[in-house]
Amino acid sequence: MPSNPQNILQVQNLSKSFLGVKALDNIQFDLRKGEVHALMGENGAGKSTFMKILMGLLKPDSGEIIFEGEILKSNSVHENLRKGISMIHQEILVVPELTVAQNIFLGRETNYRSWLNDKAINQKAQEILDLIGVKINAQTKIKNLSIAEKQMVEISKAISNNAKVIIMDEPTSALTDNEVTMLLKIIKDLKAKGVAIIYISHKMDEIYEITDRITVLRDGQYIATKNTNELDKNALIALMVGREINDLFPVNNSKKGERIFSVENLSTKGKFENINFEIKAGEVLGIAGLMGAGRTEIARAIFGLDKYDSGEIILKGNKVEIKSPEDAIRNGIGYVSEDRKALGFIPALSIKDNISLSSLANFSKAWFVNSSHEHEAATQLSKDLKIKSTSINQKVMTLSGGNQQKVVIGKVLLTSPTLVILDEPTRGIDIGAKFEIYKLINQLTDKGIAVIMISSELPEILGMSDRIMVLSKGKQTALLSKHEATQEKIMQYAVN
């Protein structure tokens, strides 16, 4: 492929393997000046390996990267940064105790004379923040900023670096709608200034709103590069998963049983108040609301992770006291947290050990774990949930996000719950795995398990729920049936 002068970055025949397994196989990619280029693919498709190579974190086995017409040979992040390749990370990497300005110039303080010169740094940082239209004071400490603001700081850092290529990896996964709008506007401004952006996201709306071209990877292979306006959503999904998914939300025909769980006047000061709902066996109750509306807080209270101030939790007609997750699990409540890394799994333990963790006592006699029973159960679940791994003894930290989520769900299922709370069950996982999780929800309700699903994605809430509770600022503003609910109605109640 001849190098095109329009391209700021061109990647040819890039390959990389880990311990004999090909993570990237002959990747082709080109990036034009002033372009927003989406990189799409399921988790495990090779996107992050590819980005790590571009950043200089990993060295490719073969192939070359041509940056501004020259072959990029370095394998140091620092050098690539200096040349103008920056990355906004999925997990934000700013130092909380330093100020915004100090973070922006972290590691490059010496550019502004040999002594630390806070005044010069503050001034320069403020200029950049104003330039991208962010209302943040350069002298605030990072710890006082919201996640969105931290991201803006990261972007400012990239700009201050005279970045010519900015890689954004799931930049909106933790942002509110307003913040997303602002970020997208900033991206458009950057683009107008000639900065090229590689944009990784699972959110289709964003992809269609801001990207010019889309490159799809699947299983480490290069699949295609298309202009965004020539590729419709279904075709894109087909390219990503290698097959057509006609209806993302599988039909749920589960029979609804008796009421098995309800809360009455549940309140915790400053978080939520007077929450009332009930749920029947085999039913899916969706909880919608903006960030900070109290959705996760309610789930945490029901599961015993936090104390609640007043109200009652009634399980199968009996009032229950839940003071710890231990109590909750014993009473048949399972919780899949939105924060998979912090609350979901033990990274250094195996798939088997994680799956059995909550129900280990059931596999034990007089303190001793019956490992053959445990092994059997974990193998079965791993198969049922289609967890992709070399064996069930593989450490969970080496799995992709979707597979990690399946492990967490497996752990909850093994406790034989009557109620499962899924908090943002599909956040940060790819379409194929999302679809599998939706199917799984239906399998649960088929078995008569009640499901509470908290989600920020309205199509998901509408597609999966039998009833939808909407929260706004800690208050319950609506309880809608599947038939009466629409995206507009939910949003109205959510901003109420």
Partner 1 sequence: MLNRLRQYGIFVVFIIICLILSFISPQFLTVSNWTIIITQASINALLAFGVTFVIITGGIDLSLGSMVAVTGVTAAMLAHPDTFPVALPIFAGLLAGLLMGVFNGFIITKSKIAPFIVTLGTMTIGRGLALILSKGRPISNLSDSFNFIGGGEVLGIPFPIIVLIIIFTICSITLKKTLLGRYIYAVGGNEQAARASGINVNQVKMAVYSISGLLAGLAGVLLTSRITTGQPNAGAGFELDAIAAAVIGGTSTSGGTGTMTGTLVGVLLIGVINNGLDLLNVTSYYQQVVMGIIIIGAVVLDSWNQKKD
Closer CB to partner 1, 166 or 396, in the complex? 396
8 Å CB contact between 410 and 387? yes
Instruction: Indicate whether 115 belongs to the interface with partner 1 (CB under 8 A).
Output: no
CB of 340 to partner 1, least distance (A): 9
The residues, ordered by sequence, that sit 6+ positions from 390 with a Cβ below 8 Å of its Cβ are: none
Q: How distant, in Å, are the alpha carbons of 29, 49, 65, 387, 483 from that of 18?
A: 21, 10, 20, 20, 50
Instruction: Indicate whether 415 belongs to the interface with partner 1 (CB under 8 A).
Output: yes
Nearest CA to 452 out of 248, 255, 282 is that of 282
8 Å CB contact between 374 and 363? yes
Question: For partner 1, which residue of 49, 86, 337, 400 counts as binding (CB under 8 A)?
Answer: 337
Instruction: Indicate whether 330 belongs to the interface with partner 1 (CB under 8 A).
Output: yes
Instruction: Indicate whether 329 belongs to the interface with partner 1 (CB under 8 A).
Output: yes
Residue 296 tokens read as 């996760």
Question: For partner 1, which residue of 131, 147, 320, 357 counts as binding (CB under 8 A)?
Answer: 357
- C-alpha span between 449 and 173 (Å, rounded): 29
With tokens 């990747």, the residue in question is: 27
Question: For partner 1, which residue of 348, 376, 459, 487 counts as binding (CB under 8 A)?
Answer: 348
CB of 21 to partner 1, least distance (A): 14
Instruction: Indicate whether 51 belongs to the interface with partner 1 (CB under 8 A).
Output: no
Site for partner 1 in 268-307 (CB under 8 A): 303, 305
Question: For partner 1, which residue of 364, 379, 418, 492 counts as binding (CB under 8 A)?
Answer: 364
Nearest CA to 166 out of 154, 174, 177 is that of 154
CB of 377 to partner 1, least distance (A): 14
Instruction: Indicate whether 21 belongs to the interface with partner 1 (CB under 8 A).
Output: no
- C-alpha span between 425 and 404 (Å, rounded): 11
Q: What are phi and psi of 270, to 5 degrees?
A: 80, -5
CB of 153 to partner 1, least distance (A): 26
Question: For partner 1, which residue of 42, 353, 424, 466 counts as binding (CB under 8 A)?
Answer: 353
Selected range binding partner 1 among 57-65, 76-84, 353-361, 427-435, rule: CB under 8 A: 353-361
Selected range binding partner 1 among 60-68, 238-246, 276-284, 352-360, rule: CB under 8 A: 352-360
Strands, sheet with 475-481, edge to edge from the N-terminal-most edge strand:
333-336, 419-423, 450-454, 284-289, 467-472, 475-481
Instruction: Indicate whether 360 belongs to the interface with partner 1 (CB under 8 A).
Output: yes
With tokens 């090779």, the residue in question is: 46
Instruction: Indicate whether 105 belongs to the interface with partner 1 (CB under 8 A).
Output: no
Residue 330 tokens read as 């014993």
8 Å CB contact between 93 and 158? no
Residues found near partner 1 in the complex (CB under 8 A):
303, 305, 324-326, 328-330, 335, 337, 342-349, 353, 357-358, 360-361, 364, 367-369, 371, 411, 415
